[in-house]
Each structure stands twice: as C-alpha cells, then as structure tokens.
C-alpha cells in the first residue's frame, strides 16, 4: 500500500466542504498506508483553491488546469486516471456527489480498481482497505473489501468525516493534461429549491427528540420549545420512520450529520451508535434521559437524569 490521493471538488467557483472532509478521512490512514497524502484539484481556476486545501496532513497539492468552465465527467476521468498512474496511490478518496456519479465508476472500471460508493467509514486490516457503506435502504451496514486490487477508489459520503484543523505547507505541483473530447458539458447548476424544511448539516443549535417522547402528539411541545430557544428540531430514526418528523430531520448514520452544530440537546434519545455517528463530535452535548445508564450520557457534556416533559416545561417557562 502506498499513498492516498484525494480528489477535491469545486462548483461555481466555491470549494465544496466535502473536499476538506476527505482530507480529514485520509489523515489518520496515512500512518497505515505509509505513503504521502496528495490532494488533486481539477478544472479552470483550480489554482485558486491551493490555499484552502493546504490543511494539516496534506503533503502535496496537484493542480490540474483544464480549459473551459467546470470540468466535465470525461475530463475528470482522464485526469484522475493520469494522476493514479503517475502517483500510484493505493487509496483514492473522492466525494460521493452528483458530480462524481459521472466519472468515479468509470475510473474504477477502466483501471480494474476496487470501488465503493457512499462510504462513511474506512479502516485497514491485514487484508487491506475495508470500507463501510449502508445497504438495503440504509437498514444494514455493509463492509466492502477489495482483495487483489492494487487501488481502492472510495466515493465518500459528505458530512461523514470532520475537516482537519490546522494548516500545512505542502508542495504544489501543476500537472498539465490534454483534455479529452467531452461527451457532456455542464451548462448551469440549478440548486434544488428550498422547501419549508431545514438543512440539519448547517444548523448550529439542534434540539433532537427520540422515542422517549412516546407519541406523535408530543412532537408539537418540542417543536414549540425548539422555536422558543432558537434551535432546529432534529430527531432519532424511530421518529422519522414513524413519519412524526420528516426524514430530513433525522440525525445519524442513515440520516444527517450535525456538521456545523455547536450545541446539541438530546431529549429522550438513548444514544445508539448509529445516532451518535451524526452528533458525537459536537463540542457541547446536553442529554436528558430518565435512564441514568443510557449510552447518550457517555458522550454528553452535561446530563440531566429526568423526565423530558418536566425538563421541557421548565425550560419553556424561561423563554
């Protein structure tokens, strides 16, 4: 196993946050792979992102300028294949995104590489890289390994890893490529019109409810409390599965990652590992649960052993 190659992503002149998350995913793996961590940025204007990508753990930034605007899937595929050939990484991390759908599978198939999409966990064992992804509608976790493959290409779920802290002074190499004849050309990105729901990944203060609320009729009490304290209402999976709140509000492994959250209040949430996957990194976690042995208290900064309805009422009386 040699180095790691991260493919950064930009759109409409902005570096996509997943780029730094990929570096965060790669950072701890460097010790295992023993090789350098190179980050590639492909496209016109890609040199503009060098400063933002010079974060802790990065050894080299590969700038691949291309003519035109956003790189098309054919150009991305040729650029990545070229970088894999020249840098010979054992592991390639790229975003699991609408952009990579156009090229990631093609790169892996053409090179005969191992490939997995929507990956949210990566580890190494004696057999090599093992990637974890959801399966059967996120009902089970599937571990994928790549026996006999010299390179594993992993499309990584956004929000699954933390961006690294700190800067670095990596070498910067400009790599020229002959752009292929593109079969598709991005014309314009049209953002999905925002509905009346929220983006949990950008919420800084989340109040989440779990099965402890007991019945759907109780959701309103916590919605009112969340509004009063200025929090975004989130939930555990049983609440979303029951249709008591939209799926977009579910925090956890098969839901959203509370990426920007600074204060997370969990009420009536037991702290199953799949829920923790979406929030355990939050710096301040407040847990309210009547069971003093609930796992949520293992990650909580502050814990209240008590009844969520009583605590909710008391809190509400102050706002």
Ligand X SMILES: Cc1cc2nc3c(=O)[nH]c(=O)nc-3n(C[C@H](O)[C@H](O)[C@H](O)COP(=O)(O)OP(=O)(O)OC[C@H]3O[C@@H](n4cnc5c(N)ncnc54)[C@H](O)[C@@H]3O)c2cc1C
In the complex, the residues that contact ligand X under the rule CB under 6 A are: 138-141, 210-212, 236-238, 250, 252-255, 268-270, 272, 274-275, 278, 288-291, 294, 307-309
Cα within 13 Å of Cα(122), Cβ side: 33
Q: Which residues, 6+ apart, have CB-to-CB distance to 303 below 8 Å?
A: 286, 287, 288, 289, 296, 297
Q: How far is the CB of 209 from ligand X (least distance, A)?
A: 8
The residue whose two tokens read 């916590």 is 222
Nearer to ligand X, 58 or 288 (CB): 288
DSSP, res 239: H
Q: Which residue is nearest to ligand X (CB)?
A: 252
Q: How far is the CB of 315 from ligand X (least distance, A)?
A: 13
Q: How far is the CB of 316 from ligand X (least distance, A)?
A: 15
Alpha carbon distance 314, 308 (integer Å): 10
Q: How far is the CB of 276 from ligand X (least distance, A)?
A: 9
Nearer to ligand X, 102 or 212 (CB): 212
Q: What is the DSSP pairing of strand 284-289 with strand 171-174?
A: unpaired
DSSP, res 250: B
Nearer to ligand X, 201 or 290 (CB): 290
Nearer to ligand X, 103 or 161 (CB): 161
Alpha carbon distance 214, 204 (integer Å): 26
Alpha carbon distance 60, 149 (integer Å): 24
- Answer for the pair 231, 206: CB distance below 8 angstroms, yes or no: yes
Q: How far is the CB of 271 from ligand X (least distance, A)?
A: 7
Nearer to ligand X, 29 or 235 (CB): 235
């Amino acid at each position: 196993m040699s180095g790691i190659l991260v493919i950064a992503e930009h759109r409409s002149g902005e570096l996509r946050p997943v780029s730094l998350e990929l570096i965060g995913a790669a950072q701890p793996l460097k010790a295992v792979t023993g090789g350098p961590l190179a980050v590639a940025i492909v496209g016109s204007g890609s040199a503009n992102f060098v400063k933002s990508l010079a974060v802790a753990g990065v050894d080299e930034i590969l700038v691949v300028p291309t003519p035109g605007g956003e790189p098309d899937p054919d150009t991305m595929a040729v650029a990545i294949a070229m970088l894999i050939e020249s840098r010979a990484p054992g592991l390639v991390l790229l975003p699991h995104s609408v952009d990579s759908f156009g090229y990631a599978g093609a790169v892996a198939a053409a090179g005969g590489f191992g490939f997995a999409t929507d990956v949210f966990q990566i580890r190494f064992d004696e057999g090599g890289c093992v990637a974890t992804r959801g399966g059967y509608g996120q009902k089970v976790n599937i571990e994928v390994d790549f026996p006999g493959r010299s390179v594993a290409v992993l499309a990584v779920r956004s929000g699954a890893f933390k961006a690294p802290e700190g800067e670095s002074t990596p070498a910067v190499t400009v790599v020229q490529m002959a752009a292929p004849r593109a079969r598709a050309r991005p014309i314009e990105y049209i953002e999905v019109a925002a509905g009346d729901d929220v983006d949990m990944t950008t919420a800084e203060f989340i109040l989440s409810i779990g099965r402890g609320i007991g019945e759907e009729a109780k959701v309103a009490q916590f919605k009112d409390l969340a509004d009063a304290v200025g929090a975004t209402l989130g939930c555990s999976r049983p609440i979303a599965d029951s249709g008591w709140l939209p799926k977009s509000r579910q925090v956890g492994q098969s839901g959203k990652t509370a990426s920007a959250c600074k204060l997370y209040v969990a009420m009536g949430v037991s702290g199953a590992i799949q829920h923790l996957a979406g929030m355990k990194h939050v710096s301040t976690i407040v847990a309210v649960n009547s069971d003093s042995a609930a796992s949520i208290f293992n990650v909580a900064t502050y814990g209240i052993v008590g009844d969520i309805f009583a605590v909710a009422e008391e809190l509400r009386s102050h706002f």
